[in-house]
Amino acid sequence: MKKLVNAIAMALAFTGTAGALQAVHAADYKPRIIRFGYGLAEDSNQGRAVKYFADDLNKRTGGKLKAKGFASASLGSDTQMQNALIGGAQEMTVVSTATLVGIVKDFGVYDLPFLFANEKEADAVLDGPFGQKLAAKLQDKGLVGLVYWENGFRNLTNTKRPVAKLEDLQGIKLRVMQNPVYIDMFNSFGANAVPLPFSELFTALETKTVDGQENPVNTIQSSKFYEVQKYLSLTKHVYSPWIVLASKKWWDGLSADEKKAIQESAAASRDYERKDSREAAVKAVDFLKEKGMQVTVVSDAELTRMREKAKPAFDKFAAEGGADVIKDLQAEIAKVRK
Ligand code: TK8
């Protein structure tokens, strides 16, 4: 026995690896239930990733930390869940970064249209110093930003007419997220922007309170918007991130081992979620066509016109204190492009 202990001590002295350390220290995990609320259906890229996170964390902690997913905004809309986390009434959520602007205004920067050319650029910026610095601003507000997941490039749907150019948007009542950049952008495109929480969107489309909405194709599929929307325009006007959040109040009471396990599972779920979302997005357009949606590919020339038309949204965001954060983000994107 003494020999064995010596051998372990030697191994530790030489390797010093985390694995070896874990062999002697039992990790400090308490049995915990983590309420993890989210807005989309259980059968969606978001739901699959929450499940992946829960399974991974369960394995990592030997069944001690149990995350329980609550789908379809059953714990509340994005902003309601953020407030529940701040108050400590809920442990985790995943929300669109766009819905955080009431807490940290700089999050509006991701919503400026046509910033990222592709997912690779988005990953590099979100996972790099820019995305981390922005996420860290949530701490003072009672939220811990863990990782970014992909919501995806957003596309337009409506019931009125195919939208191939800006003029086609004229007068369309379009639901947008509760975020001034979206409201300004779509109003400048000639639409009539109506801010609503996602949890009210399907009903608003069904009852024709609004004519259209904009979301990634995965969400148009998983939320069954094809049942109440006829025309889909592939505009990819904004790359929309999701961010996984924990309640700071709750987080501060966790042991270092528990925090580490959650961070590791969050990182694993990010990699899984992005791969899954990208694979699903490739198939979603065909699925939506089969369901009877009429798909319009918007020309590059029209997208350039849209970008120019959106200039007032950029200018207003800059004038209201966002100039530096726009500059920083653009500098980061330029670095990735080099
Ligand atoms: C889900 C929302 C959704 C977002 C929206 O809760 O509101 O349109 O794209 O993903 O966060």
DSSP letters along 117-141, please?
SSHHHHHHHHHSHHHHHHHHTTGGG
CB of 202 closer than 8 Å to CB of 224: yes
b/e 59-76 (16+ beta carbons within 10 angstroms → b): ebbeebbebebbbbbebb
With 50 as the cut, is the pLDDT of residue 68 above it? Answer: yes
Ligand 1 atom with the shortest distance to the CA of 151: 10
Q: Which of 79, 122, 129, 126 is nearest to 104 (CA)?
A: 79
Q: Residues 25-53: what's their mean pLDDT?
A: 97
With 50 as the cut, is the pLDDT of residue 289 above it? Answer: yes
Ligand 1 atom 9, closest CA: 215
> Domains of the chain: which residue ranges?
29-107+114-151+241-283, 155-238+285-337
With 50 as the cut, is the pLDDT of residue 13 above it? Answer: no
Distance from residue 305's CA to the centre of ligand 1 (Å): 26
Instruction: Ligand 1 pocket test: pick from 50, 81, 198, 205 the residue with the most ligand atoms within 8 Å of its Cβ.
Output: 198
Distance from residue 239's CA to the centre of ligand 1 (Å): 12
Residue predicted with more confidence, 21 or 284: 284
**Any residues with CB less than 8 A from the CB of 93 and at least 6 apart, and which?**
36, 37, 38, 75, 78, 81, 82, 84, 85, 244, 245
pLDDT recorded at residue 15: 46
CB of 226 closer than 8 Å to CB of 293: yes
pTM: 0.93
b/e 173-208 (16+ beta carbons within 10 angstroms → b): bbbbbbbbbbbbbbebbebebbebbbeebbebbeee
With 80 as the cut, is the pLDDT of residue 10 above it? Answer: no
Confidence of residue 117 (pLDDT cuts 50, 70, 90): very high
Q: Residues 87-108: what's their mean pLDDT?
A: 98
Instruction: Ligand 1 pocket test: pick from 42, 82, 99, 178 the residue with the most ligand atoms within 8 Å of its Cβ.
Output: 99
Confidence of residue 9 (pLDDT cuts 50, 70, 90): very low
Beta-strand relationship, 143-153 and 239-247:
antiparallel
Ligand 1 atom with the shortest distance to the CA of 214: 8
Confidence of residue 25 (pLDDT cuts 50, 70, 90): confident
Q: Which of 308, 309, 312 is nearest to 320 (CA)?
A: 312
Ligand 1 atom 4, closest CA: 96
The phi and psi torsions of 150 (rounded to 5 degrees) equal -95, 120
Confidence of residue 16 (pLDDT cuts 50, 70, 90): very low
Distance from residue 241's CA to the centre of ligand 1 (Å): 10
Count CB neighbours of 155 within 10 A: 25
pLDDT recorded at residue 239: 98
Distance from residue 197's CA to the centre of ligand 1 (Å): 8
Ligand 1 atom with the shortest distance to the CA of 154: 9
With 50 as the cut, is the pLDDT of residue 154 above it? Answer: yes
Question: Residue holding tokens 């046509």?
Answer: 114
Distance from residue 88's CA to the centre of ligand 1 (Å): 22
**Any residues with CB less than 8 A from the CB of 211 and at least 6 apart, and which?**
158, 159, 160, 172, 173, 174
Q: Which of 212, 219, 101 is nearest to 150 (CA)?
A: 219
* Chain mean pLDDT for the chain: 94
Q: Residues 294-304: what's their mean pLDDT?
A: 97
Distance CA 219, CA 225 (A): 8
Q: Name the CATH architecture for the domain at 29-107+114-151+241-283.
A: 3-Layer(aba) Sandwich (3.40)
Distance CA 175, CA 191 (A): 10
CB of 93 closer than 8 Å to CB of 85: yes
Instruction: Give pLDDT tens digits for 210-255.
Output: 999 999 999 999 999 999 999 999 999 999 999 999 999 999 999 9
Distance from residue 95's CA to the centre of ligand 1 (Å): 7
pLDDT recorded at residue 11: 46
Residues lining ligand 1, CB < 6 A?
39-40, 78, 95-96, 151, 177, 198, 215, 219, 240
Ligand 1 atom 11, closest CA: 96
Ligand 1 atom with the shortest distance to the CA of 96: 11
Q: Residues 135-143: what's their mean pLDDT?
A: 98
Distance from residue 125's CA to the centre of ligand 1 (Å): 21
pLDDT recorded at residue 26: 86
Give the CATH H-level superfamily of domain 155-238+285-337. Bacterial extracellular solute-binding protein, family 7 (3.40.190.170)
Structure tokens at 293: 């949606």
Distance from residue 308's CA to the centre of ligand 1 (Å): 25
Ligand 1 atom with the shortest distance to the CA of 240: 9
Distance from residue 212's CA to the centre of ligand 1 (Å): 14
Ligand 1 atom with the shortest distance to the CA of 77: 6
With 50 as the cut, is the pLDDT of residue 12 above it? Answer: no
With 80 as the cut, is the pLDDT of residue 322 above it? Answer: yes
Distance from residue 178's CA to the centre of ligand 1 (Å): 10
Ligand 1 atom 5, closest CA: 198
